Structure 1
Amino acid sequence: MSRIATRFAQSKAEGRGALVTFLTAFDPDRATSLEILRGLPKAGVDVIEIGVPFTDPMADGPSIQRAGQRGLKAGATVPGVLDLVRALRATEADTPVVLMGYYNPILAYGVTRFCADAAAAGVDGLIIVDVPPEEADEVEPHARANGLDLIRLIAPTTDEARLPRVLGATTGFIYYVSITGITGTRSADYASLAPAIAALKRHTDLPVAIGFGIRSPEQAAIAATVADGAVVGTALVDTLAGTLDADGRATAATVPAVLSQVAGLAQAIRAARKQAA
């Protein structure tokens, strides 16, 4: 099995949901970014999602847009992000790594080359926000040939007629977007999550992780109980940003603050199903 499938199977066997975290590569600099990434598994992260900075991130809210700008200012490029993953893999062999980003940088790099280089660097999956299933044939054969999962976003507005098309082009896990709109702008409607996930599960056996709008340990615990996992991104990016100095540089508080927050999220998720039982 892939690292992604193995990790979701492991969390299920342990009777808990999985914690997926998102942080932007090179935010606020390469060294700090790598130090945080290396600390995530010990803090309790099951899947590491790394944002590839891009100048026009249409699905991202202000916090992640600013993180992308900091990453670009720090010198982030597609080769640089792949090198960051290689550096992470030098000390972390088991935790799945997913790159999340946009098609333009991949197209500029070369799709065939990108998929081969990403797999060689230790990437397990891709979330390409602006490549719909109808255009998946531009990426899917190259991803599949290199053992990369293509993870799809499914929104509350995705109707049951469209679901088979989306799910047919999805591997690894499903990223369920709990809100309509961009990341980090409001919280999820938790009353609607259970029926929405139940409806989705009627069409697929893939794990489902809920993201967009999850900020607190309590919200993460609910999401990871209703589904197979919770994705937390903007809340971590905001914590990181809050530790930077006036010039946007990392301080002594940056790494510990982010990893402490992650540990709190992981602890809440691990306790949630035990409390519900």
Structure 2
Amino acid sequence: MSTRSKLSAALAAAKAENRAALIGYLPAGFPSVDGGIKAVRALIEGGCDAVEVGLPHSDPVLDGPTIQTADDIALRGGIRIADVLRTVREVASAVDAPVLVMTYWNPVDHYGVERFAADLAAAGGAGCILPDLPVEESQEWRTAAEKHGLDTVFVVAPSNRDERLARITAVGSGFVYAAAVMGVTGTRTQVGHQAEDLVKRTRATTELPVCVGLGVSTAEQAAEVAAFADGVIVGSAFVQRLLDAAGDEEVGLAAVRALAGDLAAGVRRR
């Protein structure tokens, strides 16, 4: 992209502080559309440098049981793409932090590629994370995204060979999402020894920041990942806090805000 994007600026600001960035994830429409907007704002209030708003999907291949449960609640609540865009709009207008959408490709394709990019940009979105879109099939999206000033974040995995990593990172922007482990999302007692090696191999192919997700749930794990990555991505742990609140909105918001604060302290613990 010709000028530094809001996402790139946020990651650069964290780097200037000699720390990793903290990126939080929550699906739109969970526990409700209005409640989800408040929860995403709470992530930033707690200390997240950027946020990912998930577009709930009925067949999420990358998501584990915790996020699947949240997606099911959102889908049963009648979540629509318009509600996802409203979530982005209301969060982006209230905070000074990049707001990304994380979505599988099928909903974007059905909505219309150009239309989705235009509407996301109009809502104040910073870009998209597209975990199941092969780079070889991404030209239409990348053209629309660049036209509307959106970053496109692709996911790399420990199974990717170096030449594959280079092919993926060559066409992405904003940052590279490095999956710490093989498998689906969810909190883990250990982040996975493959993560550091994946970051090292990915950095050899690109100057983009490399942010690690899948498994981080504590300040200690955040500090561990922050020692070798440019960003730490946390999703399932935030979702679990809202599930544990059992419908009590204030308890849930306080819990995700507190966890964000703990994780923010973790990424600063070099």
The TM-score with structure 2 as length reference comes to 0.95
Q: Distance in 2 between matches of 1:105 and 1:198?
A: 33
1:237 Cα deviation after fit: 0.7
Deviations 1:188-223 (A, max 9, x none): 554443333222211111001100111111111111
2:25 aligns with one of 17, 22, 25: 22
Secondary structure in 2 aligned to 1:226? coil
Alignment correspondent of 2:48: 45
**1:266 equivalent in alignment to 2:264:** yes
Q: Distance in 1 between matches of 2:223 and 2:199?
A: 15
Residues 37/185 of structure 1: CA separation in 2 closer, same or farther (3 Å cut) = closer
Aligned residues: 267
Residues 4/196 of structure 1: CA separation in 2 closer, same or farther (3 Å cut) = same
Structure 1 segments of 4+ aligned residues over 6 angstroms from their partners: none
Alignment correspondent of 1:197: 199
Alignment correspondent of 2:38: 35
Alignment correspondent of 2:74: 71
Which residues of structure 1 form unaligned runs of 5+?
none
Q: Are 2:179 and 2:213, in contact at CA under 8 Å, matched by a contact in 1?
A: yes
Matching residue's letter, 1:137: Q
Secondary structure in 1 aligned to 2:211? strand
Note the 1:177-192 alignment, pairs <5 A: 177-184=179-186, 186-192=188-194
Q: Please report the RMSD computed on the Cα atoms of aligned residues, expressed in angstroms.
A: 1.4
1:80 aligns with one of 69, 80, 83: 83
Which residues of structure 2 form unaligned runs of 5+?
none
Q: Distance in 1 between matches of 2:61 and 2:69?
A: 13
Q: Distance in 1 between matches of 2:222 and 2:80?
A: 31
Residues 207/77 of structure 1: CA separation in 2 closer, same or farther (3 Å cut) = same
Q: Distance in 2 between matches of 1:82 and 1:189?
A: 32
Matching residue's letter, 1:236: F
Q: Distance in 2 between matches of 1:122 and 1:106?
A: 17
Residues 130/215 of structure 1: CA separation in 2 closer, same or farther (3 Å cut) = same
1:187 Cα deviation after fit: 5.0
Counting aligned pairs with the same residue, the percent is 37
Q: Distance in 2 between matches of 1:194 and 1:177?
A: 11
Deviations 1:116-135 (A, max 9, x none): 00001011110112211111
